[in-house]
Structure 1
Amino acid sequence: MPVVTPETQDQSAQVQHGAKAHSDGGWDAPEGAFVPVQTRSDRFKSNVPSEHPDVNGREAEWKLTPVDLLRPLIDGELDGSPYPFLVTQTEGADAEWVDRTDARVGLAGQAEEKSSANAWNSFQKALAITITGGETSEITISRSMLGDAARGAHTVITAKKNSRGRVILLNTSQAQLVENVEIVVEDGAQLAVVSVQEWADDAIHLATHFATVGRDATFRHVVVSLGGKVVRVNPSVALSGEGADGELSGLYFADAGQHLEQRVYMHHEGANTKGRVNYKGALQGVGAHTVWVGDVLIGPEAAGTDSYEQNRNLVLSEGTRADSIPNLEIETGDILGAGHASATGRFDDEQLFYLQARGITEHEARRLVVLGFLTEIIQKIGKPELEQRLQISIDDELNRSSSQLVGGAE
């Protein structure tokens, strides 16, 4: 069999059996044609905004996003000054503002998007959160006074070697915010990071969370997005050390005219790593739009990997749209298992019938089904007071729009 290379390929090889080169790029592509990146880890990275191409909304990473609403955060000038926040903490957890030159800044990742680079270029000081305790430590950062000016921010979270802790980021009220959150989980550490978005109805929030997980370390990441006009939280996690364990969970509830988006990337770099991704969402109201893109890459050195990702969406009314795109790349044949799944549908009529047959009203039956569907993710938080608060918030969402709920199975 002849070997075809860019140097030896001729026209006859291109049209064999009537096949033609793709118009989006290739060896014979015309000058300036786009050649797509084939491996998730090969995407361009830079913290300098000018090195990223202009965003036109047709790019793969932006085409499902209302880009016109985000222009001030993608291209505009940002206020990068330190902002007010409330903090509650236990022993072994601390938060402080540090300079851009601090050695902890830049350890976990680099910007893959222009908005992320804009935030990186703009912040004056980073909020550094450090977990050091051998017993489980906890710190909560509450932000509710960011205002409506375009702002760029940077947070660095470090779980020191063999430490145990939980970091909760609570976001409420108004905001026009683009930010990067770097997370370093050192060898043997156990860290949970919970990010809750209960913004005001007109808030816009773009966030990229970069995490690197060391040898025999455990990382739990939970994203809950309920409020805001446009909220896009993109976790990017590298299981770098041998035996690293990562669990990424998410919950979102989109109402009429609301856009909630999450693009998840888990990269198995080390051997014998374990990864789980589980996101669940509900949608109701005309114009409610959710986007979930899940990328899992099992690298060539990640022998013994055990990985699975899934996304489930529950449609509660007409006029909604849920985009769900799972992707899986495997670069080694020596794995324990890998898979992905995605499903979007309406209520299960059998569940409703079962509950109504026992004297429960239709509205209450629907409420129980939705809460049961989403509670699995809420319980991942591990803080009872916050879990109860979020269940009440979801209940309020359902009660406000109960007239929009529809039945029928897809």
Structure 2
Amino acid sequence: MAEITPAGSTTDGAITVGQQVGRPGQPTDARVSAAPSFDVADFPVPHGREEEWRFTPLERLRGLHDGTAQATGTVRVEVIAPDGVTTRTVDRDDPLVGTAGKPVDRVAAQAYTSFEKATVVSVPKEAVLTEPVRIGLHGEGGTVFGHQIVEVGAFAEAVVVIDHTGDATLAANVEYLIGEGAKLTVVSVQDWDADAVHVAQHTALVGRDASFKSVVVTLGGDVVRLHPRVVYGGPGGEAELFGLYFTDQGQHQEHRLFIDHDTPHCRSNVAYKGALQGKDAHAVWIGDVLIRAAAEGTDTYELNRNLVLTDGARVDSVPNLEIETGEIVGAGHASATGRFEDEQLFYLMSRGIRADEARRLVVRGFFGELVQQIGLADVEERLMAKIDAELEASVG
């Protein structure tokens, strides 16, 4: 089925040199109100008036943001990897920890100062994996602070699936270290139980001529707030950030992306899509792209599409693009949020398709292009089955 673009409020276009869309007066090195730091004391306790926290329901974070949360729970980590891939558990003084970048908000810093052991998955240089690495994180209740590192050596190629299930209040940092000429695809699935809370910073350091593709899928949980970030370690780096989210009644799902183009001749492409249904379903997408003066030859584009299926759901979609040099290949963004169209439903029903099946086909078509980016049949089938189940529950 062809891609469905929601009708409704839309922004689309390139930004002229020197024009800033978003937050004037904020520090451009971090795009947030405080400088990056490993020390939680360097971040004030947020109160919800800060730009980076104004959409987040702080009262539902269970103390992750103000220091009252204590590590009382367990998240079981299981890694299944092909031959040649090494997995180890390290302390915070391991030289790899913190390599990709510093925490940029108080919850990420709290996670960094509170985790006990980090899980490191390493793919050796020049290895080309024919099977994915699968990392399962299953919450068993309580509050947990976590840290994971995926390291891919020079000219290696790997696919990593990180699967979050169960129940937990989790604050975590995830680092992706992609060596020169390497290719890494990461599929991060948030399939939590209904009461889970998950707040995490994902930071990718993309090496010279390396490629990084991220597919973030958010379905479960009470509150999920993810902060994917990309920095470049050398020219020629490429980053593709895809995401899909299905926000149901009462859920808060927030994705805040930042791509820091501070290196010449790098490329980035962002495409996130979400569907919402039910009272008080709330999705937030923030896309920040900064092209610094030194980043000549940059090519970047970001897109967010949202499909609102029922009354009572709310979307906040904010693309931000700042350009400090005119010597670029291209830069632009697009954002659209719209209602489920009766015309689409009528068209399919007029051809003998039942209303519930027609609705399912429209949503499948809306997500289809992004689901195909996963490239793993079992994961794709599972996710579409979850979406179908959500739709059936709402109809029932």
Instruction: State the TM-score, normalizing by the size of structure 1.
Output: 0.87
Q: What are the equivalent positions in structure 2 for 1:110-129 lying under 5 Å apart?
A: 110-129=102-121
Question: 1:332/1:89 Cα in 2 relative to 1: closer, same or farther (>3 Å)?
Answer: same
For 2:328 and 2:362, the matched residues in 1 are separated by: 36
Contact between 2:185 and 2:212, CA under 8 Å: does it hold in 1?
A: yes
Contact between 2:319 and 2:333, CA under 8 Å: does it hold in 1?
A: yes
> Counterpart of 2:97?
105
> Counterpart of 1:54?
45
Counterpart of 1:401 in 2: which secondary structure?
Answer: helix
Question: 1:42/1:251 Cα in 2 relative to 1: closer, same or farther (>3 Å)?
Answer: closer
> Counterpart of 1:139?
133
Letter in 1 for 2:112: W
> Counterpart of 1:326?
319
Q: What are the equivalent positions in structure 2 for 1:255-404 lying under 5 Å apart?
A: 255-402=248-395
> Counterpart of 2:17?
none
Contact between 1:94 and 1:139, CA under 8 Å: does it hold in 2?
A: no
> Counterpart of 1:194?
187
Deviation at 1:40, TM superposition (A): 5.2
Q: Is residue 2:152 matched to residue 1:159?
A: yes
Letter in 1 for 2:305: R
Query: Equivalent of 1:93, from 76, 85, 104?
Result: 85
Letter in 2 for 1:293: I
- CA distances 1:115-169 after superposition (whole Å, capped 9, x unpaired): 110000011111101122521252111122x322111011111111111001111
- What RMSD over aligned residues (CA atoms) do the two structures have, in Å? 1.6
- Mark the runs of 5 or more structure 2 residues left unpaired by the alignment: 1-23
Question: 1:60/1:325 Cα in 2 relative to 1: closer, same or farther (>3 Å)?
Answer: same
Q: Is residue 2:26 matched to residue 1:37?
A: yes
Deviation at 1:41, TM superposition (A): 3.4
Contact between 2:74 and 2:142, CA under 8 Å: does it hold in 1?
A: no
Deviation at 1:80, TM superposition (A): 8.8
For 2:123 and 2:74, the matched residues in 1 are separated by: 21
For 1:274 and 1:112, the matched residues in 2 are separated by: 23
Contact between 1:241 and 1:270, CA under 8 Å: does it hold in 2?
A: yes
For 1:296 and 1:49, the matched residues in 2 are separated by: 25
Deviation at 1:42, TM superposition (A): 5.8
Counterpart of 1:363 in 2: which secondary structure?
Answer: helix
For 2:114 and 2:58, the matched residues in 1 are separated by: 20
- CA distances 1:315-347 after superposition (whole Å, capped 9, x unpaired): 000000000000001111011110011000012
Contact between 2:30 and 2:36, CA under 8 Å: does it hold in 1?
A: no
For 1:73 and 1:331, the matched residues in 2 are separated by: 35
- CA distances 1:290-328 after superposition (whole Å, capped 9, x unpaired): 000000011112111110001000000000000000000
Contact between 1:153 and 1:177, CA under 8 Å: does it hold in 2?
A: yes
Question: 1:92/1:164 Cα in 2 relative to 1: closer, same or farther (>3 Å)?
Answer: farther
For 2:84 and 2:291, the matched residues in 1 are separated by: 34
Q: Is residue 2:197 matched to residue 1:204?
A: yes
- Mark the runs of 5 or more structure 1 residues left unpaired by the alignment: 1-34, 404-410
Contact between 1:140 and 1:167, CA under 8 Å: does it hold in 2?
A: yes
Letter in 1 for 2:246: F
- CA distances 1:44-63 after superposition (whole Å, capped 9, x unpaired): 11111112111111111111
Contact between 1:80 and 1:124, CA under 8 Å: does it hold in 2?
A: no
Counterpart of 2:203 in 1: which secondary structure?
Answer: strand
For 1:286 and 1:84, the matched residues in 2 are separated by: 33
Larger RCO: 1 or 2 (CA < 8 Å, sep 6+): 2
**Greater shift after overlay, 237-246 or 342-351?**
342-351
Which segments of structure 1 move beyond 3 Å, counting only runs of 4 or more?
40-43, 80-83
For 1:152 and 1:195, the matched residues in 2 are separated by: 18
Contact between 2:161 and 2:187, CA under 8 Å: does it hold in 1?
A: yes
